[in-house]
């Protein structure tokens, strides 16, 4: 019921936005009758997976409702049409019109894109959204993707993640050496320099790899999604905080030709829907993580632990080096990184006397 209420409210809001842009009297609150579009959307997530996989489903449902059926989107989970890590290429080539995933999966192909998902020890969810929507981040995002015939839209954020599930204790820095861990993006490079071995795996393969010992540890998301995969049944130690993903943003990418084929009112509906789903996901994960963590805390077979301070200090130092090297060797990363860290500096100063100070006072 709550999901239907959300989609219904989103449809109404998107329709009003479309009406305002077109400056027409929409009468019954639906988009103006016109050409219809049928799109396909591929994702990096297991089909209809809670949170991550449902975000593109919610986008598709709301777009169809808000447009009065003028645009319909069929969503395909990872592996149903293309593999999890080939979403970028499929949309860029025009094989499909739309995709949903995380920009740090494009590492090695478009390194600067990582700034729009997560930088280790970087922006939180609220800070990233502030930079994207009001601090110039979105303009840089679209400029970066333009040569690939893509138009990106922030669409979802899980909030601060967990550090991951481990089948061995992490008590000192040396415990990272030789550790084989599923961890994507820049976090993976940081682990490598700390002596570990990063492994990139799609979500659907994580549980088996951890259970069979193919990997020693994995980060995925947090209590909500980790419980959905049953990762607590494959490892004992659950570490926090998620230094590698402090507020990872997800993305919808649309083929440029497909985007430009839409009339202005449908473009407004799509853009408004993506932003609304970002807000909805933040609420979903706040609730889901809280409820799932409460259950995990009752499991006597699990130990939820903080990373030792010396381990976090090392990871932070390496993260700084990794990002600085990326910015020194890639002009796009240099440009985007400067804007990112300029905003983060100001946002951090505000966070210290707002959220951080308040939480410290509340927990005192």
Q: What is the pLDDT of residues 121-165, one digit of tens each?
A: 999 999 999 999 999 999 999 999 999 999 999 999 999 999 999
Q: Do 251 and 120 sit in the same domain of this protein?
A: yes
| pLDDT tens per residue across span 167-214 | 999 999 999 999 999 999 999 999 999 999 999 999 999 999 999 999
User: What is the pLDDT at residue 23?
Assistant: 41
Segment holding 271, helix H or strand E: helix 264-296
| pLDDT tens per residue across span 51-109 | 999 999 999 999 999 999 999 999 999 999 999 999 999 999 999 999 999 999 999 99
Cross-strand pairs, 336: none
Q: Do 215 and 100 sit in the same domain of this protein?
A: no
Q: Do 192 and 212 sit in the same domain of this protein?
A: yes
User: How many Cα atoms occupy the beta-carbon half-sphere of 275 within 13 Å?
Assistant: 15
Kindly state whether residue 253 falls inside one of the protein's structural domains.
yes
| pLDDT tens per residue across span 136-147 | 999 999 999 999
SS3 262: coil
Expressed as residue numbers, the domain containing 201 is 164-242+302-324
Rounded CA-CA distance 233/192 in Å is 26
Identify which of 88, 105, 110 has the alpha carbon closest to the alpha carbon of residue 330. Answer: 110
Cβ neighbours of residue 364 under 8 Å, at least 6 residues apart? Answer: none
Q: Do 36 and 132 sit in the same domain of this protein?
A: yes
User: What is the pLDDT at residue 9?
Assistant: 54
Cβ neighbours of residue 71 under 8 Å, at least 6 residues apart? Answer: 36, 37, 38, 39, 63, 64, 262, 266, 269, 270
Identify which of 214, 179, 213 has the alpha carbon closest to the alpha carbon of residue 197. Answer: 179
| pLDDT(14) > 70 | no
Q: Do 251 and 128 sit in the same domain of this protein?
A: yes
Q: Do 238 and 250 sit in the same domain of this protein?
A: no
Of 260, 287, 314, the position where a domain reaches its end is: 287
The model's confidence at residue 28, banded by pLDDT at 50, 70 and 90, is very low
Q: Do 216 and 93 sit in the same domain of this protein?
A: no
Burial of 353: CB neighbours in 10 Å, binned 0-12, 13-18, 19+ = exposed
Identify which of 284, 285, 250 has the alpha carbon closest to the alpha carbon of residue 44. Answer: 250
SS3 199: strand
CATH number at residue 309: 3.40.190.10
Identify which of 157, 162, 164 has the alpha carbon closest to the alpha carbon of residue 124. Answer: 157
Q: What percent of the chain has pLDDT over 70?
A: 91
Q: Do 173 and 311 sit in the same domain of this protein?
A: yes
Cα 227 to its chain centre, rounded Å, is 18
Split into its structural domains, the chain has a count of 2
Q: Do 148 and 172 sit in the same domain of this protein?
A: no
User: What is the pLDDT at residue 313?
Assistant: 98
Q: What is the mean pLDDT of residues 13-40?
A: 57
Q: Do 195 and 147 sit in the same domain of this protein?
A: no
- Residues 73 and 39 sit within 8 Å (Cβ to Cβ): yes
Q: Which of 32-36, 106-110, 237-241 has the lowest mean pLDDT?
A: 32-36
Q: Do 93 and 195 sit in the same domain of this protein?
A: no
CATH number at residue 102: 3.40.190.170
Which of the two residues, 6 and 65, has the higher pLDDT score? 65
Q: What is the mean pLDDT of residues 302-329?
A: 98
Cβ neighbours of residue 126 under 8 Å, at least 6 residues apart? Answer: 247, 355
| pLDDT(31) > 60 | no
Identify which of 242, 212, 224 has the alpha carbon closest to the alpha carbon of residue 293. Answer: 224
Kindly state whether residue 251 falls inside one of the protein's structural domains.
yes
Q: Do 238 and 252 sit in the same domain of this protein?
A: no
Q: What is the mean pLDDT of residues 262-289?
A: 97
């Amino acid at each position: 019921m709550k999901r239907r209420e959300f989609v219904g409210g989103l449809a109404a809001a998107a329709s009003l936005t479309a009406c305002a842009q077109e400056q027409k009297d929409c009468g019954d609150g639906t988009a103006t009758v016109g050409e219809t579009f049928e799109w396909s959307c591929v994702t990096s997530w297991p089909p209809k997976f809670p949170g991550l996989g449902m975000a593109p489903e919610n986008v598709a449902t709301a777009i169809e409702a808000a447009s009065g059926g003028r645009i319909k989107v069929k969503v395909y989970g990872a592996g149903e049409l293309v593999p999890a890590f080939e979403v970028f290429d499929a949309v860029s080539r025009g094989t499909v019109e739309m995709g949903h995933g995380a920009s740090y999966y494009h590492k090695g192909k478009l390194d600067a894109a990582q700034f729009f998902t997560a930088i280790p020890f970087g922006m939180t969810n609220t800070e990233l959204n502030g930079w994207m929507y009001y601090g110039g981040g979105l303009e840089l995002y679209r400029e970066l993707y333009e040569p690939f015939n893509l138009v990106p839209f922030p669409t979802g954020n899980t909030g601060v993640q967990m550090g991951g599930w481990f089948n061995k204790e992490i008590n000192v820095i040396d415990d990272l050496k030789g550790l084989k861990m599923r961890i994507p993006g820049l976090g993976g490079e940081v682990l490598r320099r700390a002596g570990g071995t990063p492994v990139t795996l799609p979500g659907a393969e994580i549980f088996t790899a951890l259970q069979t010992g193919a990997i020693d540890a994995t980060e995925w998301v947090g209590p909500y999604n980790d419980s959905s995969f049953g990762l607590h049944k494959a490892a004992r130690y659950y570490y926090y905080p998620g230094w590698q993903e402090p507020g990872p943003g997800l993305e919808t990418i649309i083929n440029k030709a497909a985007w430009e084929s839409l009339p202005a009112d449908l473009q407004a509906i799509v853009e408004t829907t993506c932003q609304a789903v970002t807000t909805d996901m933040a609420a979903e994960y706040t609730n889901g993580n809280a409820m799932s963590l409460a259950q995990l805390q009752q499991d006597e077979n699990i130990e939820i632990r903080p990373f030792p301070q010396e381990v976090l200090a090392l990871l932070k130092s390496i993260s700084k080096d990794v990002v600085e090297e990326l910015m020194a060797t890639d002009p796009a990363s240099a440009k985007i990184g400067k804007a990112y860290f300029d905003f983060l500096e100001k946002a951090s100063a505000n966070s210290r006397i707002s959220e951080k100070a308040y939480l410290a006072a509340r927990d005192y």
